[in-house]
Structure 1
Amino acid sequence: MAAISMRNIVKRYGDGYQAVDNVSLDIADGEFVILVGPSGCGKSTLLRMIVGLEDITSGDMLIGGERVNQKAPRDRNLAMVFQNYALYPHLSVYENIAFPLRLKKVPDAEVKERVTEAANLLQLTEHLDRKPAHLSGGQRQRVAMGRAIVRQADAFLFDEPLSNLDAKLRGQMRTEIARMQKQLGTTTVYVTHDQTEAMTLGDRIAVLRRGVLQQVGSARQLYEEPANLFVAGFIGSPPMNFVPGRVHDGRIETPFGEVDATGERLSKVGDRDLVILGLRPEHFEDVRLVPADKRARGRTFTAEVDVTEWLGHELYAYVPYESPPEVTKQLEELERELDSEQMRTQLVVALDASSRIRSGAPAELWFDPERMHVFDAASGENLTRDPDRVFETDEPAAAEIPVPRHSAEEQTKS
């Protein structure tokens, strides 16, 4: 096993396109780090530079403390698992897993021992004599993982390994990958565009946008203390609501009334003529379901509900509003980049399933202003973020960080 350190990594192609822009990131020995972001953000390019499949324009790549910029992939002792499995159809599962060992002319006895261990770990023992064509997608991906395991590499690199699987198999494979990494304790770098994979798998998540590293932290840190509009819009589903606001004399004006800005979180913003306010859908409640003592600590407002969706475990309500052109333009760009749901003209509210709020009728809603984020309207910077905040645990409760209600195929595109 080995730590991976990236120092000011830049990747610029011959036509001048800069795919990775000055990325610095330290991955500890045994750590599981996710590289995440929309299509074209540079995450796969960065992974390929770690393994040596892409040349580094400038900067230093260190593996186990050794600079490897000029080392060929075969000399870096890394194991990579691809999206398309890359199995040999004419070989059995056993021989597919054993293939890298055969290339190194490892003795048969040791080959058998390593393949057997990997097969036991991945529950492939009964399939060792079968050919890839007779396996399911999940089984094929496990064979690809087994081939990586037997190499006893310093680090595992995963390039969107679950993209070809259906939603149910993805869930199963996520669990298996997490279990395998914990058992082996091998340094792992995992690339995905799926935020569900990112938030449920890694020790830390690195969010990239147009080749630039936006924020690195645990799932809880990114969810509760996003660095900017981009991270806030990418993490969480449905995405965070963004509405225009104004801060003046200790008050914040919103499309749904004024709130007090004297609390610990909001007081540091200061007077501003235009800000973007961030409110997560799950932080709203039907006022009729809020206990009286809790209701007094928050803000109640009445809004006309356009559409509702009852999903059994939750009720989604959509509330239209208007934004000034400055905010609309920025949110339109964010929507396109994230291939996301509409952010600029409607408030999405996630309520308890017992709520009786209905479409086409006014509704009384409640939220806690201290959970609201305030973003600079020009730069997108989170003005209320506390980068030094210490969390009791980095394993969020399901109610606090919801799993997306749509499948990964509907939510994002590769």
Structure 2
Amino acid sequence: MASITLKNIVKKYDDGFPAVNDVSIDIEDGEFVILVGPSGCGKSTLLRMIVGLEDITSGDLLIDGERVNEKAPRDRNLAMVFQNYALYPHLTVYENIAFPMRLTKGKFSDQEVDDRVRQAAHMLELTDHLERKPANLSGGQRQRVAMGRAIVRHANAFLFDEPLSNLDAKLRGQMRAEISQLQRSLNTTSVYVTHDQTEAMTLGDRVAVLKKGVLQQIASPRELYEQPANLFVAGFIGAPSMNFLPGTVEGDVLQTPLGEIQLPEGTADAGRGKEIVLAGIRPDFFEDAATLTETQLAKGTTFEATLTHTEWLGNEQYVYVSYENDPRVAEVLQTLAEEMDADELRTQLVVSVDATSRLRGGDAATLWVDSRRIHLFDPATGENLTRDAEAGAELTRMAREDRQRDAERAAAQRES
């Protein structure tokens, strides 16, 4: 295991374009860090620089405190799991897993190779498939073989380059759980690249959000969700995406196209004096007022809206409300949509309500919003005007404690 430190890492190509621009990240020993962002944000380039497949234009890359910028990939003792698995079709599962050890030419005895391969196969439930060829395996089994090949190397760190993108949705969910459990049991430093924010939120101890080669924020998934640094992070993290409602703060009231929303004093203070703000409101900050008690209603504010349509998903329900956008923020929202790889950010509110709610399209409904959780953003800069940095840091600190507890539990299980 090893720590990985990136200090002001820059990658420029021949045309001078910075694919990665001044990125600094400290990855702790045993930590699982996710690099996430839309296509072309530089996440895979950054991963390839860590493993040594891309040269570093400037900055320092340290593994366990040692600068490795000029070291060849084979000398960094890092194991990479590729998107296409990179298995050898003519070799059995056994030989595919053993291959990295065979390359060392005599470093491992046949018995050591066999012990490590069978141990990895047992961990990954591949023991019954060791004599099969990759073509006869399912997508999930091939993924596990690629991971087994990384495990037997006893590498300092695992690097994953979108390893689940070729799998169907159900299998992706299953493999997410397997990767998470494996990383926790091995406590191996891991860096994982994905464009899927669901993978990022469910797997990572910390998540680094990239946009156009620039690090926007690195924090625990919960801090990113509850205390995003800017419009891009707020919009990219979370599914469905955060709603961005244009408005103006007058006193303690946010004037919006959907009516007035009463704000807590601290939130109102942050937006007061701005010509216009964007109110960031996640779908789960809402509820059908008819399903709440008086005590619950008192913790937020209500407003009237006409619903366009609803989506019932069994465990939850989404209702949609259209509104007239403010032309002063139209360009900002269109740019944000393009940065997030979306066609456009529609001028409609997505509201999550209880699955038992009887709201339907065309209804005139009273909706409740938890105004304590609303964020206000400056459209000109994208800055989150209401971000509580201390509260966010506390969320990430608690996540670190949880990881350490997991590591201690896994170590105890290995010793028993």
Same fold per superposition (TM over 0.5) = yes
Q: Matches of residues 10-409 of structure 1 in structure 2 within 5 Å?
A: 10-105=10-105, 106-340=108-342, 342-389=344-391, 390-391=394-395, 393-394=398-399
Q: What SS is found at the alignment partner of 1:26?
A: strand
Q: C-alpha separation between the residues in 2 aligned to 1:278 and 1:153?
A: 42
Which amino acid is 1:278 matched to? G
Structure 2 CA distance, aligned partners of 1:273 and 1:344? 22
2:297 & 2:159 partners in 1: Cα distance?
A: 48
Aligned-residue offset at 1:243: 0.9
Code of the residue aligned with 2:309 in structure 1: it is: V
Task: Report deviation, 1:260.
Answer: 3.4
- In structure 1, what residue type is equivalent to 2:368? W
Q: Which one-letter code corresponds to 2:54 in the other structure?
A: E
Matching residue's letter, 1:385: R
Identity %: 65
How much has 1:341 moved relative to structure 2? 7.2
Per the TM alignment, residue 317 of structure 1 is displaced from its structure 2 partner at its CA by 1.2
Q: Report the count of equivalent residues.
A: 395
Give the direction of change, closer, same or farther, for the CA distance of 1:65–1:306 in structure 2 (3 Å limit).
same
Q: Deviations over 1:36-62 (max 9, x none)?
A: 001000000000000000000110000
Letter paired with 2:325:
S
Deviates more, 1:333-342 or 1:152-161: 333-342
CA contact (8 A) 1:157 1:190 kept: yes
Contact 1:242 1:344 in 2 (8 A): no
Deviation at 1:274, TM superposition (A): 0.6
Displacement of 1:325 in angstroms is 2.1
Are the counterparts in 2 of residues 240 and 280 from structure 1 also a CA contact under 8 Å?
yes
Deviates more, 1:126-135 or 1:341-350: 341-350
Q: Could you tell me whether the CA contact under 8 Å between 2:251 and 2:268 is conserved in 1?
A: no
Tell me how far 1:318 sits from its aligned partner: 1.1
The C-alpha deviation readout for 1:284-324, integer Å capped at 9, x for no partner, is: 11110111122123211111111111222222111111122
Distance in 2 between residues matched to 1:172 and 1:157, nearest whole Å: 19
**Which residue identity does 2:22 align to in structure 1?**
N
Q: What letter matches 1:99 in structure 2?
A: F
Q: Distance in 1 between matches of 2:299 and 2:85?
A: 53
Q: CA RMSD in A?
A: 1.5
Residues 314-323 or 4-13, more deviating = 314-323
Moved more, 349-358 or 246-255: 246-255
Question: Please, what TM-score do these two structures have when normalized by structure 1?
Answer: 0.93
- The one-character-per-residue Cα deviations of 1:318-377 (angstroms, maximum 9, x if unpaired) are 111112223111111222222337534111111111111111221110112111110001
Q: Is the 8 A contact 1:249 1:271 kept in 2?
A: no
Give the whole-Å Cα distance in 1 for the aligned partners of 2:13 and 2:29. 31
SS in 2 for 1:264: helix
Which segment is superposed worse, 137-146 or 325-334?
A: 325-334
SS of corresponding position for 1:268: helix
Does structure 1 conserve the Cα–Cα contact (< 8 Å) formed by 2:271 and 2:277? no
Instruction: Report the residue type matching 1:194 in the other structure.
Output: D
Task: Give the residue type in structure 2 aligned to 1:66.
Answer: E
State the alpha-carbon separation in 2 of the partners of residues 282 and 205 from structure 1. Answer: 21
For 1:234-290, what per-residue CA distance to the aligned partner results, in whole angstroms no more than 9, with x for missing partners? 111110000101123333212222233443344333321111111111111111011
Q: Deviations over 1:15-46 (max 9, x none)?
A: 12110010000000010000000100000000
CA contact (8 A) 2:260 2:303 kept: no
1:212–1:263 Cα change, 3 Å: same
What is the letter of the counterpart of residue 185 of structure 2?
A: Q
Given the superposition, is the C-alpha separation of residues 51 and 155 from structure 1 closer, same or farther in structure 2, using an over 3 Å criterion? same
Q: C-alpha distance in 1, partners of 2:335/2:270?
A: 28
Q: Distance in 1 between matches of 2:229 and 2:204?
A: 19
Cα deviation code 1:204-234 (max 9, x no counterpart)? 0000000000011111100000111111111
- Relative to structure 1, the CA distance from residue 260 to residue 303 in structure 2 (aligned partners, 3 Å threshold; closer, same or farther) is closer
Q: Is the 8 A contact 1:263 1:370 kept in 2?
A: no
Partner of 2:404: none
- What are structure 1's unaligned runs of at least 5 residues? 396-414
